[in-house]
Amino acid sequence: MMIMVLSGNNALTVTIPSEIGLLLNLTGLDVHNTKIGGTLPNEVFDLNPLSWLDVGDCEFSGTLNSRVGQLSDMNELFLSNNRFRGTIPSELGKCLWLRTLEVQGNNFVGSIPNEICPLSNFRSLESVKADCSSISNGDIPLACPTNCCTECCNKETHICLTN
């Protein structure tokens, strides 16, 4: 078991190198609240023992790779407050042990995939936090199926309310 924690270091302005895939025993990666950015390298999604990934409050961009569903041991996934765009991959529903999912503060569109929400009914999903509150023009950036999101956030105000 190996955990890498680089969180809270705003002096870090690098990207995660593809060589991260060489850390075959990595079970946790925490770089939240840094200036680390770019796209998440595909090699992150090959780290099957990875159960905890926190890249919240960083400078990440691009889309979330559908290979995220390969992280079958994933328990906690924090992607909040970056510049991710596109849709949230339905393959995330393959992460059967997912307990926490935070995707608010990004540019995701569409809705939380239906494949994720049933995890809360018969698996361990306890918390889903997303931009599912309407913004000033009345739009809802990310739709959340009934009884799926535990907190809906307003992308403009960053205020989150418990459902």
The domain locations on the chain are: 2-162
What residues contact residue 59 under an 8 Å CB cut-off, 6+ apart?
A: 13, 35, 36, 37, 38, 82, 83
Per-residue pLDDT, 146: 79
Per-residue pLDDT, 156: 84
Residue 123 has pLDDT above 70, yes or no: no
Whole-prediction pTM: 0.92
* CATH node for 2-162: 3.80.10.10
Nearest to 55 by CA among 64, 47, 46: 64
What's the CA gap between 38 and 85, in Å, rounded?
A: 12
- Higher pLDDT residue, 58 or 141? 58
Residue 119 has pLDDT above 70, yes or no: no
Percent of the chain having pLDDT more than 70? 97
- Higher pLDDT residue, 143 or 63? 63
Say if residues 130 and 117 touch (Cβ distance below 8 Å).
no
Residue 122 has pLDDT above 60, yes or no: no
What's the CA gap between 137 and 153, in Å, rounded?
A: 15
